[in-house]
Amino acid sequence: MTTQDKSSYLRRVIAACIAGSLSVPAALNAQPADNPEIEEVVVTGSFIRNSAFAQNNPVDNVTQAEILESGAPNMGNYIRDLTYTQNTNTVANVNAGNSGGQSSVGTTFNLRGLGENSTLTLMDGMRSVDPAINTLLPDIAIDRMEVVLDGGSALYGSDAVAGVVNLIPIKSFDGIRTRVSHQRSESGDFEDNKLGILFGRQFGNGLNWVVAGDYARTTPLMHFERPRSLRADYGWTTSGGVGVWRELVGGTPDPGEIHGGRLVAPSLVDPDCGAFNDVTDFGQVNNNPSGIRLGSNCYFNYGQQWPLAEGKTEANLFQHLSYELPSGVVLEAQMSLASRESENHNTLTYHLNVNNREALVVPAAHPANPFGVDVGPWAWRPFALSGTLPSFADPATGARKQTYEDIVQRYKVGARYDITDTWTANTYYSSQRQHRDYNAHMINMPHLAAALIGQGGPNGNEWFNPFGSNDPRSQFYQPGVTDNSQELVDWIAPTVPFRTSQRELTVFEVNATGDLYNLPAGMARMAVGYQMRDIKEWNNANPLAKARRDYNSSIIDTPPTDRNYGSSVQAVYTEFELPLLETVDMQIAVRHEDFTTYDLQTTTPKVAIRWEALPTLAFRASVGESFLAPTPADARPFDPNENCGEIFFGADPITGGTLQGGATCSSGNPALAPETSDIWNVGFTWEPNDALSLSLDYQSIEYTDRIRTIGTEDVVRIEFLEMLRAIGSSEGAYDSTPGSATRSAANAWLAAGGSPLASVTRARDTQQVQRVVRQAKNVSSVWIDLFDMRARYTMDINNLGRFTTTLSATYNTKYEYADGGAQIDALGRQNALTGVVAPVPELKSQLRLAWMRENQSASFTYSYQDSVIFDDRVNNLLTGVPAPSDGKVRHWSIANAQYTHVLDQFFDSEITLSAGINNVFDRLPQRLPVLGGFESRLHSPWGRQFWASVEWQPF
């Protein structure tokens, strides 16, 4: 039976069950008087309350105590170590660009490594305008975290392809609790500090109020502070502040416009390239300021200017107010505000061929021109490490340090009430908003062009020297002649504050659940609901780009404009719990969503069965579908000049050269279809006594039509494959050498227009890539089979205390993907050259040993993940670092230790003192000849860290 046939059959089964259930009259009033009252709880994964010890779906519950005892400095690092997550954003490293960029800011869940947008993250059951964990709740206000480890679209709608995460806040508290924590690396170059306060009051008249806030400061960790990995980093480019030029023939300077000339060979290397490198060690800051000369290239080492963790300052405020009326109706109001100010470090300026080569002219008459002819830049950037730098440059590294602030506001009002004796309902309305304000440090393109011809500065009469002689260390330096004044540099490189984006989300939802009717095996239950959500997005182009004055946006093309898009969704859903036998019940759920903006409709079903073979042993099985609709931003109109930046790495298979120095831009794709997944799961939970708990699940996932923003290298490869088909050649037979038969055929194909499927712009004479436009597309599929296991055993040993051992593991038996072609095995591989999947170790596990005795506790946690096959390109031209001798990115293991002592009679208060060591054995990442110098998606660079926290709670 095909997947489509299975889906149709599943829908028919569900429709029959729904029709049969709704045909029973007066179902809502059915409630046997002799039914004993039982404790009922709501667990993420179902809207129906039940008291079963094991759920129909695989669910992991994480308490605040477990998070604290892990010693993780923040939620992002805790999430990274969970066995069922992959490629979590905690390390800022460009190495992760292919399968999800990493910034270390705004960590979100990435279940199974299927992408952060494939996991639906909720806060108290409510969708969030920003799913980043560190803006949802203050850590001190988290009661628990529930993770549903299979698809949840049948209940929760779009985005729940890989699963659902629900952060549940503390809603009832009486008193005050404060917590302060400090963590730092052993070398003292990285700190994480946090202060949290929780206050609650139960007024006794049905009014309950909880308010919590925290403030956190994380210092940046720059790559030069980890010289060991920096020395292996493929963080160099052929374009630097001391650069390479070519003679310009027929060009006419016209600041802000193209010059109309052409650059002719040979390349002219700045005489100062490599001439004044007082620091040459790649592991040190400000190394090789005048570049490194190899042949006709002058390389610039930019890796030293990038962070491993961005500095950030975060503040969160949360409050929950509930009031129970005499009628039993409970009114609720929630408010949360979050602010996150981040420090973004990157190279001071980018090199874009489209602008540099088409618009900039250095005339022969320039007082610092060493070549005696008109020249234009071939591989050059305005500022790097030499000469006078813009005032906004980081004094430590010369990096461009830009701050941006994310503000998130959430408001929610709702009510819980009884409809009948057996039916309860919940209604809420939520309004949320997120915006980002950016202090962008830019280059004014017309100002730069004017300054190169002696018309720069506020008075329009200054020359800007683009050569190495602008640095006092140069042998050609002449004060007052070759130097650049700070006033001139800042005129060329201004700071432009603007709001880059804004997002608004409104949600209205009403649902009801209760008894339906008595079946021979017990009471059938039902839940029904309706949801309306509306999302609006605004993306603003930077002011210089809109005015065609920005160095990072092509001045040749139509300038970018401010964009706004939105999506409106209407959804209805229903769920049934049907006892088939006394020990067997079935859960049936179906949800229909109508995306009115896209004229798109989806219906997703799910069926689950639970069999309690023994009072302590339950088996479960489920099968269902999930989907992920395109976001308004992904489905926005196409614009080839949006979100442009420099290409730092990659090979061009057509020319045999590199992609470095070209521009990469991203744009929308209004033709996107939704992603879909089919997931089935079988497992069991066994709890023979209070001491032992064991659960095991086997899961199979088929994830199709994945929406993926095509990477720069992928776009170029699509063009390459189109070219091979057009000229009738194969990849193995193609020869990129100029003059070969296949290269000549490729040149003719490019001259005739090239591929309509790949948005690649090339230079007319050399065919070198000048610009690549990336789009989100439905291009890939993923197939996964895996086992999830969790075991816990607790043992009391007389006066020695209680010992608890917990073992969690995820073992992948299959991880394959297709990206427009045949299925490819990704299991146990680094997957460095694809953007479809992240590195996939076969095994990821965690062992935790905990001890508790009276007022003392301690724990030791050991996290492990398998090695993977190294399949990245080796880039060691300058560093000489070899590829792994065994061809593997080695396994990774981290050990953490923690001790806590509670002073419960300390001046009418309780004080909890905790201390710990993370990475006890000071494990360092394996050095690799790749971007970043290590595999940041698997290994972490922090080294050994020490932490301490104090919690105070008066009686």
Please enumerate in sequence order all residues whose Cβ is within 8 A of that of 790, keeping only pairs 6 or more positions apart, or say none. Answer: 60, 693, 694, 695, 696, 806, 807, 808, 809
Residue 755 or 909, more confident: 909
- Over residues 455-494, the pLDDT tens digits come to 999 999 999 999 999 999 999 999 999 999 999 999 999 9
Kindly state the percentage of the chain with pLDDT values over 70: 92
Walk across the sheet containing 163-169 and list its strands: 59-63, 142-148, 163-169, 119-123, 126-127
- Over residues 71-127, the pLDDT tens digits come to 665 677 788 888 998 877 777 765 444 444 566 666 788 888 887 888 899 999 999
What is the reported pLDDT for 132? 85
Mean pLDDT, range 431-450, rounded to an integer: 95
What is the reported pLDDT for 275? 97
Count CA within 13 A, CB hemisphere, residue 854. 5
Count CA within 13 A, CB hemisphere, residue 133. 25
What is the reported pLDDT for 353? 63
What is the reported pLDDT for 3? 42
User: Cα torsion for 87, 93, 99, 100, to the nearest 10°?
Assistant: 80
Which three-class secondary structure state does DSSP give residue 140? Answer: helix
Residue 644 or 265, more confident: 265
What is the reported pLDDT for 110? 85
What is the reported pLDDT for 13? 37
Among the ranges given (139-148, 443-452, 481-490, 503-512), the one the predictor scored with the smallest mean pLDDT: 139-148
Q: Where are the domains of the chain?
A: 59-221+311-343+405-438+499-636+674-706+777-954, 236-301+349-382+445-492
- Over residues 747-762, the pLDDT tens digits come to 999 988 887 766 888 8
Among the ranges given (46-55, 451-460, 824-833, 842-851), the one the predictor scored with the smallest mean pLDDT: 46-55
* Lookup: tokens for 587: 């859960």
CB atoms under 10 Å from CB of 825, counted, come to 11
* Lookup: tokens for 347: 């190279």
Residue 395 or 470, more confident: 470
Report d(CA 508, CA 570) in Å as an integer: 10
Report d(CA 860, CA 897) in Å as an integer: 5
Please enumerate in sequence order all residues whose Cβ is within 8 A of that of 216, keeping only pairs 6 or more positions apart, or say none. Answer: 74, 134, 192, 193, 194, 195, 312, 313, 314, 315
Report the mean per-residue pLDDT for the chain: 88
Asked: is 59-221+311-343+405-438+499-636+674-706+777-954 a CATH 2.60.40.10 domain? The reply is no
What is the reported pLDDT for 6? 42
| Residue 536 binned pLDDT confidence (cut-offs 50, 70, 90) | very high
